[in-house]
């Protein structure tokens, strides 16, 4: 079965959150459709469960997406985490990491501009979710190294990007 058959022939100008809901449902992920313009879901990862959030702004022709860690940054570690965010963001092509100020939760963020009726395809939505979770998984250890391991931001990034060679 193709993605088009699984998700239907979506009108590119339609509300993209409807398509996100079908994708999330097809994956059997827990979700909450908070309004016509918002959807929150939970996705299991290797390190933790990630909270996905989609918000559609028709007036801007944009869909905002976040993938938040199940982790809070202690106040004394905020400066080191902000340095870590800057170092990590240098390594990304799409999206960026930020810190949700209200709850001190690290998250991956990306906004897709869809003005002019361009719309999002199911493949693009799936790729965005896959990319976000993969980047969160890749850098989760770096956050742990800074928060609990006492490492500097630079040491944490280097350790989290260490590639192993061979097999044990």
With beta carbons less than 8 A apart as the criterion, state whether 133 and 41 touch.
Answer: no
pLDDT on residue 101: 85
Strand partners for 39 = 54
Provide the pLDDT for residue 163: 59
Q: State the pairing for strand pair 105-113/62-68.
A: antiparallel
- Judge whether 117 lies within some domain: yes
**Strand partners for 32:** 40
Domain that holds residue 26: 10-72+93-137
Assess if residue 155 is contained within a domain.
no
Residue 165 lies in a domain: no
- pLDDT tens for residues 118-146? 778 899 999 999 999 999 999 999 999 99
- Give the CATH number, domain containing residue 103: 3.30.1460.10
4: in domain: no
How many domains is the chain built from? 1
**How far is residue 46's CA from residue 40's CA, in Å, rounded to a whole number?**
20
């Amino acid at each position: 079965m193709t993605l088009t058959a699984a998700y239907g022939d979506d009108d590119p100008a339609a509300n993209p959150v409807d398509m996100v809901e079908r994708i999330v449902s097809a994956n059997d992920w827990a979700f909450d459709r908070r309004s016509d313009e918002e959807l929150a879901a939970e996705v299991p990862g290797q390190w933790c469960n990630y909270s996905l959030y989609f918000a559609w702004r028709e007036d801007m022709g944009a869909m905002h997406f976040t993938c938040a860690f199940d982790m809070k940054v202690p106040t004394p570690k905020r400066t080191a985490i902000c340095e870590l965010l800057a170092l990590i963001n240098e390594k990304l092509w799409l999206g960026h990491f930020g810190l949700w100020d209200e709850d001190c939760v690290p998250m991956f963020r990306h906004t897709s501009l869809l003005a002019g009726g361009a719309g999002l395809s199911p493949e693009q939505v799936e790729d965005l979710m896959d990319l976000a979770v993969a980047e969160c998984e890749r850098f989760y250890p770096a956050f742990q190294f800074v928060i609990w391991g006492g490492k500097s931001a630079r040491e944490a990034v280097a350790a989290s990007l260490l590639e192993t060679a061979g097999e044990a």
